[in-house]
Every structure is written in structure tokens, then in C-alpha cells.
């Protein structure tokens, strides 16, 4: 885009400025705008300008010839469900840049115009980036005068593309004292020589250096040298010319994938990683791993009731548990949906998989355990049932939980016959179990998304008490997903990104080029274990496979990789941009075949397990011990995969068979309908 000595070399919309000013009729605390890099003769400037409320194109130096012309917009995408708790909900409109050449005009006066800024790149001293996480990324530009400009929030991504575009004109070096701060240098000899002083390869305190060197000479020495690698990466990459592309190139502004990647705080999961062969990796460098051929995986026939009975001894104990769990993992036929465990068998097996029953207990011991757990459940249920309206008015936490649960229950799986209708007893049970869980786990309480996890469990058990304790076992596995800090979700997304980069670096490069490399669209997948991605009956099969803990504790991450692998061609060969990728991923809901995805996920695991040079963190993530044979699944070693949660083994007094009269809300059990297999996939 050129006009009379001006050339726009980079442009990104949906860049918001969050002000702290009070709101009034013509000023908001959230101002959308566009950021550009503009070449003005011998100078290059960074400019941000707000977008006017009337919908005109962004204006700093340029404006359309015909301001009355309408802007082409993408169609809004409606995911078809309530997205309160989902990170990826809707895809909004994004104005498209017009092809006609603009002409320079003066920007019209606007209340928002006071926030616009334009700064020469030669005046930049440093750039501060946001902490890695799930929120909007932002950048703060700091001038040589020490002035910090207002933070710019990139609501649709673009920070990496902007920084890479800046590298054409500047050298960005990570500060040795702050990993989130980039020091800015121009491409000249003085700046290069001065940079070595700014890098501070070793601390000024020489005694501290000597101390660290004596304790760990390798880390102390190469830790300093790695800063040189970080510094020269930007300079050398600029000199080779790979970043200078024609503006018409769809990947303009993005660098070619280099042969190495500097490990930053965003990849802390890999910090200190060592390959399986024990040789140290080069400091700050990630080498490419050569993977073998991906094997073909076939699912086995499902576990039958006869096969299950053959694993029970005369007293009802389950024998050969490891083999049985492997059969449950592999026992999904590819012929048609619903061929996992049968409905009657699933009702019993899930109690073992979720730790409600102990594999070592006899049938009588399990029945006594149920009586104890039934009494414990109703004691907790009575705690919230006995709270009067007057008491609840003084308990904002309980009141908030009740309101949130009632709202979520009213919209959870209502297309399923088990929950349809306004007077359905299944809805009452769903509500009561979730309220009682708030009494059971005060620290966590209720978070949106938990109703999605309970719904299939209640559907299968069809018993209030059984559903509660199975749900509690499930929550023991995934409760960290719902914690306020979101550290577990951040870690899983980082692990998923690194696994996908090992398996398919080209797909990762493509997603990076479209500002989708964070895989934020996978957030819902991991949060509720694909509950809304597959048909209801398919979710039952998928979950019982994941509950086995085989072949590795993180198999759900490989399931996510399997989904992306199945959509690889559709994503890379269709010219999708940021919006189209999100829309395509959301539209996969209820359209995927669970058996195909499970086969892909297991094949990916076997491919990685057969690779001898995996980083140790990857080996640990995949449950591969130091001496594990790649040809054998990690499931062959009980210690290499998480064992099912088991109730406490301490002896307890056996309670009476009946529930005391003071607890009238006895466990409600829903009798089977005339149709013995009511598993119907909800309509999308």
C-alpha cells in the first residue's frame, strides 16, 4: 500500500487500547484500533489509530476515496450453544482491507483521536510483552525518553507477526533481567557493540559468578553464551533476507521457520530437557526429532458381559486387572456407534474405573462400601437442604452456586431423552448431585462445565448416590481444569503444542502463520474432555477409554492431536485465515467418528514411543520409563500409568442396610424404560 512517499508494510486490526477514563457518551474504556508500520521516506514509524464507531476504516494517514462505501465483513458465526465458560465462543466480524489505493487525508476530529500515537522506530528503547497465558496478549512500547505508551491488546492475535515485522528494521534482544522485556537496537555497528554491554553476559558481582561457576560450571558458562545466541538470532535472520517478502505474499510479515527455536518462559515445560540418550541439548536450541513410520491401528471387539464375568472370582473380585483394562481401552469396534461396553455392563465397570469400587474387593465388600457411601452422601446433602431461605440470604457463596447450577442444569443435554422436558426427574438429580458436590469440595465448589461431566455419568448409573461418587472420582482426575488460576489448562495447552510440533511441525508452522499457534481453540476440548465435540454415545466410549489411563496419562492430548491430524488437509489446503480456522474447528462438533480419532491417537502414541530420541519431559508425559521398550505399551507396567482411584482401605464400621427415617430423600433410582438401550445421540 503506497501513496506519495508513504508505504504501509504491516497492518493489524482488532488491536484494542484499554483506557482507565470514565465512560460517557463518546468515550469508551475499550477502544478498537489498527496498528501499522509505515515507511515515510528514510524514516519508519509505528502508528496506532482508533476505529471510529461509525464503522469507517482506520485512519492515521490513509483513508478510502469513497468514505460512503460499505466495508465487506465476514459473517458472524454462531456456535449454537451457551458459551459463558468457553474460551472460544463466537467469531466476530473483521473488516477487510480494500484493494483500491488510498489517498492521504487529515484525520477528522474525534474524541477517540486523543489516544492515537505515531512514533519513529529509532525512538524505541524497549518493548514489554504480556505474561504467557490464556488472556489477550498485549505489548507496551517504551521510548528512549522513558515514556511508556498505553498498552495495546491484540484481541485476535498478532503480537508475533508485529514483532517479526519489526525485526526487519530493528534488533530485538531479550533482556537478561526480564524475559518479558525486549531491548531494541538499530542495525548499525555502534548499537551492535553497545549491545554486548547491555546483554550483561555475567553479573557485575564477580564473587557471585565464581560461586555459581564452582557449583555448576556447565550452566554458568553456557547460560551466558546462550544470551549471545538469543541476541544474534534476530540479527542473523534479518541479514539472510528471508524476512523480506513481497507485500502480496499471504504469509507476509512472518519469518521462515528457523532450524532452531529459542526456549523462553512460554516453553518452561521443556526447560532443562535432556534427550533419552543422555547427551545434553545445545543450550537454548530445540533440535528436530526424526519420527518413524506411523503404524496402522485396529480397534478390538468390545468387552462382552461373558468376558467380564470370566474376570470375576467366586467371591466377586476382579482378576487380571491390567489385562482387563487393556481390553477396555482397545474394546471399541469400528462398525457403528454404541459398540463400546453394553449399557448394563457399563453401569458396573464405570464404578471401578472411577474408583467408587475397589478392584480387590469382593461383591459383599463393595455392597458394604455402598451403604457407607450412601450414608455419607445424604449427610452432605442434608447440609444444603436444611439451609433456610433466611440463612441463604446471608450466604452469598451458596446462593451463587445454586443460581449457577440451576442455570446450567436447565441447558445441559436437553436434547437427550433422559433430560428432556421441564418436569424430568433427571434434572432434579443433576441439580442435587452438583449442589452436594459443593458441600463435598468447599474449595472448588461449582464451576461452569461440571454439569457436562456429570450428565453422562448420571445417565449411565441412573442412581443419585452412584452418580455422585463416580462424578467425584472423575473430578479427582480433572479438578485442576476448573481452578481459578488456570495453571493446569495453560500447562496442558503448552504440552499439546509441543506434542503437535513433534508430530507435525508443518501444521504448527501453518497455524503460527495464521495466529492460531497457541491452539486456544482446543481449550474446550481439554476442559471437559471433548464432551461437546462428539455425539453423546461416542462420549461414553471415549471417556471409558481415557479412564483406563492407557497407554499414557496424557492420552487425551493425543486425542486432540488426532483430531487436528484428521483435519490437517482441510486446514492447510483451503486458504483458511484466523476466523475461518476457528469456524471450521467449531463446526466439527458432532461430526467426528470417535473410533477413527481413537485409532489415530493410538497410532500417534506408538509412533512417538518408537522414537528413541524424545526429550525426557515428553517421555514422562507419555509414560515411557527409561527402560521401557517402544514396542510395548506403557500400560504393561502398572506404575507407568495412573492407577484408578480407590476408596480408603482403613476398616470402617458397617452401617445398617436401611437409610434412617430422618433422611427422607432416599437415593432415587430410575428404572429402565421399555427400550433397554435408550442411548440416543442428541441432535446437533
Q: Which three cell numbers stand for residue 362?
A: 469382593
Q: What is the pLDDT of residue 115?
A: 82
d(CA 228, CA 195) in angstroms, rounded, equals 10
Q: How far apart are CA 587 and CA 590, in angstroms?
A: 8
Contact 474, 453 (CB under 8 A): yes
The CATH architecture that domain 7-52+114-185 belongs to is Roll (2.30)
pLDDT of residue 542: 96
Cβ neighbours for 99, distance < 8 A, ≥ 6 positions apart: none
Q: What is the pLDDT of residue 295?
A: 94
pLDDT tens sequence across 25-61: 344 567 889 999 999 888 899 999 998 643 443 333 3
Domain at 487-622: CATH architecture: Orthogonal Bundle (1.10)
d(CA 204, CA 185): 22
**Are 243 and 237 a contacting pair, CB within 8 Å?**
yes
Using CA atoms in the order 419, 423, 429, 433, what is the torsion angle rounded to 10 degrees? 100
Contact 84, 527 (CB under 8 A): no
Contact (Cβ atoms closer than 8 angstroms) between residue 181 and residue 174: yes
Query: pLDDT tens, 229-244?
Result: 344 434 444 433 433 3
Q: Chunked in runs of 10, what are the mean pLDDT values of the chain (684 residues)?
A: 75 82 48 91 89 46 38 38 40 42 49 80 90 75 88 86 89 84 72 45 42 42 40 41 35 33 38 45 50 91 92 95 94 50 85 96 96 97 95 93 95 93 90 97 94 97 97 97 93 95 93 91 96 95 96 96 96 89 94 95 96 87 63 36 35 34 43 42 38
Cell of residue 440, nine digits: 463435598
User: What b/e string do you get for 184-223 counting C-beta neighbours within 10 Å, with b at 16 or more?
Assistant: bbeeeeeeeeebeeebebbeeeeeeeeebeeeeeeebeeb
Note whether 173 and 182 are within 8 A (CB): yes
Q: Where are the domains of the chain?
A: 7-52+114-185, 344-477, 487-622
Confidence at residue 507, expressed as pLDDT on a 0 to 100 scale: 94
User: What pLDDT is recorded for position 558?
Assistant: 97
As a whole number of Å, the end-to-end CA separation of the chain is 45
Task: Judge contact between 119 and 46, C-beta under 8 A.
Answer: yes
DSSP 75-101: PPB--SS--TT-S---B---PPPPSSP
Q: Which residue has the cell 483430531?
A: 563
Query: What is the enclosing helix (H) or strand (E) of 354?
Result: none
Cell readout for 31 is 477502544
pLDDT at 10: 92
| Strands 137-143 and 170-174, bridge-based pairing | unpaired
3-state secondary structure of 490: helix
- Count Cβ atoms below 10 Å from residue 522 Cβ, excluding itself: 24
Q: Classify 39 as helix, strand or coil.
A: strand
Alpha-carbon gap, residue 64 to 69, rounded angstroms: 9
What does the pLDDT read at residue 339?
52
Q: Give the architecture (CATH level 2) of 344-477.
A: Orthogonal Bundle (1.10)
Res 425: pLDDT:
92
The predicted pLDDT at position 80 comes to: 38
Distance CA 425, CA 500 (A): 43
Alpha-carbon gap, residue 60 to 108, rounded angstroms: 10
Identical fold at 7-52+114-185 and 487-622? no
Residues contacting residue 648 through CB under 8 Å, at least 6 positions apart:
none
Amino acid at each position: 500500500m503506497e501513496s506519495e512517499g508513504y508505504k504501509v508494510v504491516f497492518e493489524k486490526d482488532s488491536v484494542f487500547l484499554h483506557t482507565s477514563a470514565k465512560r460517557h457518551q463518546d468515550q469508551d474504556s475499550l477502544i478498537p484500533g489498527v496498528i501499522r508500520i509505515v515507511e515515510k521516506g528514510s524514516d519508519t514509524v509505528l502508528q496506532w489509530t482508533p476505529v471510529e464507531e461509525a464503522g469507517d476504516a482506520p485512519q492515521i494517514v490513509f483513508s478510502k476515496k469513497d468514505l460512503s462505501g460499505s466495508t465487506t465483513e465476514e459473517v458472524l458465526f454462531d456456535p449454537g450453544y451457551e458459551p459463558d465458560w468457553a474460551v472460544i465462543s463466537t467469531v466476530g466480524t473483521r473488516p477487510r482491507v480494500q484493494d483500491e489505493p488510498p489517498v492521504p487525508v487529515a484525520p477528522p476530529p474525534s474524541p477517540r483521536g486523543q489516544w492515537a500515537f505515531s512514533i519513529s522506530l529509532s525512538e524505541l528503547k524497549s518493548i514489554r510483552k504480556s505474561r504467557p497465558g490464556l488472556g489477550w496478549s498485549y505489548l507496551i512500547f517504551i521510548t528512549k525518553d522513558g515514556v511508556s505508551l498505553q498498552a495495546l491488546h491484540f484481541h485476535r492475535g498478532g503480537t508475533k507477526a508485529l514483532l517479526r515485522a519489526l525485526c526487519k528494521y530493528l534488533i530485538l534482544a531479550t533482556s537478561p533481567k526480564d524475559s518479558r522485556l525486549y531491548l531494541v537496537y538499530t542495525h548499525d555497528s555502534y548499537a551492535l557493540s553497545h549491545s554486548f554491554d547491555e546483554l550483561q553476559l555475567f553479573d557485575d558481582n564477580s564473587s557471585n559468578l565464581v560461586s555459581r561457576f564452582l557449583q555448576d560450571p556447565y550452566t554458568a558458562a553456557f547460560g551466558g553464551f546462550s544470551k549471545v545466541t538469543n541476541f544474534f538470532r534476530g540479527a542473523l535472520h534479518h541479514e539472510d533476507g528471508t524476512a523480506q517478502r513481497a507485500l502480496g505474499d499471504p504469509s507476509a510479515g512472518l519469518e521462515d521457520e528457523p532450524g532452531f527455536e529459542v526456549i523462553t518462559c512460554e516453553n518452561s515445560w521443556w526447560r532443562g530437557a535432556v534427550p533419552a540418550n543422555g547427551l545434553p541439548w545445545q543450550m537454548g536450541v530445540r533440535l528436530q526429532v526424526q519420527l518413524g513410520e506411523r503404524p496402522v491401528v485396529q480397534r478390538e471387539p468390545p468387552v462382552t458381559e461373558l468376558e467380564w464375568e470370566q474376570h470375576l472370582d467366586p467371591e466377586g473380585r476382579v482378576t487380571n486387572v491390567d489385562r482387563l483394562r487393556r481390553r477396555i481401552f482397545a474394546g471399541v469396534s469400528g462398525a457403528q456407534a454404541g459398540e463400546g461396553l453394553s449399557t448394563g455392563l457399563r453401569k458396573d465397570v464405570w464404578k471401578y474405573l472411577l474408583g467408587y469400587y475397589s478392584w480387590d474387593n469382593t461383591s459383599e465388600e463393595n455392597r458394604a462400601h455402598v451403604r457407607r457411601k450412601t450414608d455419607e452422601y445424604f449427610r452432605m446433602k442434608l447440609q444444603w437442604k436444611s439451609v433456610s431461605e433466611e440463612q441463604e440470604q446471608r450466604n452469598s457463596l451458596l446462593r451463587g452456586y445454586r443460581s449457577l447450577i440451576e442455570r446450567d442444569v436447565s441447558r445441559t443435554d436437553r436434547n437427550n431423552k433422559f433430560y428432556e422436558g421441564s418436569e424430568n426427574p433427571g434434572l432434579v438429580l443433576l441439580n442435587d448431585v452438583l449442589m452436594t458436590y459443593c458441600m463435598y469440595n468447599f474449595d472448588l465448589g461449582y464451576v461452569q462445565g461440571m454439569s457436562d461431566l456429570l450428565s453422562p455419568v448420571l445417565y449411565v448409573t441412573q442412581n443419585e448416590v452412584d452418580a455422585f461418587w463416580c462424578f467425584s472420582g472423575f473430578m479427582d482426575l480433572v479438578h485442576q481444569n476448573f481452578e481459578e488460576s488456570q495453571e493446569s489448562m495453560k500447562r496442558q495447552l503448552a504440552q499439546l503444542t509441543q506434542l503437535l510440533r513433534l508430530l507435525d511441525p508443518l501444521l504448527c508452522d501453518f497455524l503460527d502463520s495464521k495466529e492460531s499457534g497457541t491452539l486456544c481453540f482446543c481449550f474446550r476440548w481439554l476442559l471437559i474432555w471433548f464432551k461437546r465435540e462428539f455425539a453423546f454415545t461416542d462420549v461414553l466410549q471415549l471417556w471409558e477409554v481415557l479412564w483406563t489411563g492407557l497407554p499414557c496419562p496424557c492420552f487425551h492430548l493425543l486425542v486432540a492431536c488426532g483430531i487436528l491430524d484428521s483435519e490437517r488437509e482441510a486446514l492447510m489446503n483451503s486458504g483458511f485465515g484466523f476466523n475461518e480456522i476457528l469456524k471450521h474447528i467449531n463446526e466439527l462438533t458432532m461430526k467426528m467418528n470417535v473410533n477413527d480419532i481413537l485409532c489415530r491417537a493410538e497410532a500417534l502414541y506408538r509412533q512417538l514411543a518408537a522414537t528413541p530420541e524424545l526429550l525426557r519431559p515428553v517421555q514422562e508425559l507419555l509414560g515411557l520409563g527409561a527402560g521401557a521398550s517402544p514396542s510395548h505399551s506403557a500400560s504393561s507396567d502398572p506404575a507407568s500409568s495412573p492407577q484408578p482411584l480407590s476408596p480408603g482401605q482403613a476398616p470402617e464400621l458397617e452401617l445398617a442396610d436401611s437409610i434412617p427415617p430422618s433422611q427422607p430423600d432416599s437415593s432415587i433410582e430410575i428404572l429402565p424404560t421399555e427400550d433397554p438401550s435408550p442411548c440416543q445421540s442428541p441432535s446437533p
